[in-house]
Amino acid sequence: MANKRLWLGMLVIALVFGFTALGCEEDDGKDGGGDDWVNVKSLAQLNGTWKYSTSGTGTGMAFYEPDDGGPDGEYTPPPDPYKDLTYKVETELIETINASAKTRTYTQKSIATYSGSGSSFNSLWSDMITHIRQETTTTTDTEHGITYTHSLVIDNSKHTITETHKAILPVTDEDVAVIGLQISKDGKKLRSSDAPDVIYYKQ
């Protein structure tokens, strides 16, 4: 059950980055329309690597990792002095399924690149990144065989913030059967029946 919840949680992340956090999504020119889809019932149908890419724009703080969390670790939004900072964020979601080993590796990498110049931009950028905690943490759930890594890195020279999530976990035919995944009949595209516009492409 933990594996199923994590899979669904990762799908939620994909939806968030595809339709909410990115603002206006840019079409990658690939259209999933017109394909015949079948339900995924086994790992063998998913074996290999799948990728979904999206990009968009935003303002303010792209990823918020507070240095000082609120009560009980609650999310505490900062003031909004950074609303004049604009960025473009590019996100890749990569799923690698090893059907014979029955493992799944999920990676989500998002890079926010801020644009601007002059003393005002430099001042806002320098102040904003003091509120962001750079980190790399790894946690392991030995009971369920899950390893999760999160990292957040700032590059001052490029004015970028990169956030990466990676999970390695066991997966079974039963897991994929209950998720509601669909694969195109040519075996090159993958989607969830609950989010048909988020299409992963076979690599």
Per-residue pLDDT of 74-127, as tens digits, reads 555 555 678 888 999 999 999 999 999 999 999 999 999 999 888 899 999 998
pLDDT tier, 201 (very low <50, low <70, confident <90, very high otherwise): very high
For residues 14 and 138, what is the distance between their CA atoms, to the nearest angstrom?
A: 21
For residues 97 and 68, what is the distance between their CA atoms, to the nearest angstrom?
A: 37
pLDDT tier, 14 (very low <50, low <70, confident <90, very high otherwise): very low
Q: Can you give the residue ranges of every domain in the chain?
A: 2-63+80-202
Q: Across-strand partners of 169?
A: 104
CA 32 vs CA 24, 138, 176, 187: distances in Å = 19, 35, 21, 13
- Tokens 């935003």 identify what position? 58
Written as six digits, the tokens of 136 are 């790399």
- Give the mean pLDDT of 6-10: 47
DSSP letter for each residue of 61-113: -SS---SS--GGG---PPPSTTTT-EEEEEEEEEEEEETTTTEEEEEEEEEEE
pTM for the complete prediction? 0.74
Tell me 18's DSSP state: H
CA angle (52 as vertex; 51, 56 as ends), nearest 5: 145
Element (H, E) at 11: helix 2-19
CA angle (65 as vertex; 18, 62 as ends), nearest 5: 40
Q: How far apart are the first and last CA of the chain?
A: 29
- Give the mean pLDDT of 149-172: 93
pLDDT tier, 176 (very low <50, low <70, confident <90, very high otherwise): confident
For residues 150 and 164, what is the distance between their CA atoms, to the nearest angstrom?
A: 6
Element (H, E) at 114: strand 103-115
For residues 203 and 192, what is the distance between their CA atoms, to the nearest angstrom?
A: 18
Q: How many Cβ atoms sit within 10 Å of the Cβ of residue 160?
A: 17
